[in-house]
Amino acid sequence: MGRLAELQRKNLEHLMGAEAMGIIQVDLKFTDPKVCRSYLCGACPHDLFTNTKMDLGACAKTHSQKLKGEYEAALKRSQSDNPEESTEIVSPHELQSMRREYENNILGFVEECDRRIRAAQKRLEKTPEENNRTTALMREIGEIQTAYEGAMAEVENLGRWLLRCFLEHPHRCAD
């Protein structure tokens, strides 16, 4: 029940905004460490793979569309050629640092995924002994299938012979 309630809360938060739900403080800035850098810069890994084997659960940091908009506006101002627009409380160095943090977070997540894939592939790999055993079992299955088909053909022949015998000599088979 808790998982369903969490999903409903997230849907409401997404539709109404976290501020309306009373989840975020109104005076929170996008530079605050409580704000998810991954969400601001692109996509949070916690949101990407919900309901999959790679589900990380809910992100502990704040996701706010308003703060994401402020971050994107600050990023545009820092890249602007107009010096009056680029005078912002947030330095370009801090914005680059946020972006690097996001990239490192995503790279770490990708490395974790790759590690899990390698571990799964290693479990799937067969040793030469297993391959030889599989080949021997398949050969044995083939021999059994051939013997079965031969026995079934013999049963069919005997059945036809018996039917012919009954039809030709019904008085002998009455006993």
Q: Tell me, what's the pLDDT at 122?
A: 85
CB 63 within 8 A of CB 45: no
| pLDDT one digit per residue (tens) for the chain, 175 residues | 577 888 888 887 777 766 555 555 567 888 888 888 888 888 888 888 788 888 888 888 888 888 888 888 888 888 776 655 544 577 888 888 888 988 998 899 899 989 999 998 888 887 888 889 999 999 999 999 999 999 999 999 999 999 998 888 877 765 5
Helix, strand, or coil (residue 43):
coil
- Report d(CA 28, CA 32) in Å as an integer: 7
Quote the tokens at residue 27: 């005076």
Unique residue bearing structure tokens 């680059």: 96
Quote the tokens at residue 91: 């330095």
Q: Tell me, what's the pLDDT at 87?
A: 47
Q: Tell me, what's the pLDDT at 21?
A: 58
What are the strands, taking DSSP E only, across 63-162?
none
Q: Tell me, what's the pLDDT at 1?
A: 55
Buried residues in 15-45 as b, exposed as e (16+ CB within 10 A): eeebbeeeebeeebebbeeebbbbbbbeebb
Q: Tell me, what's the pLDDT at 174?
A: 57
Q: Tell me, what's the pLDDT at 98?
A: 87
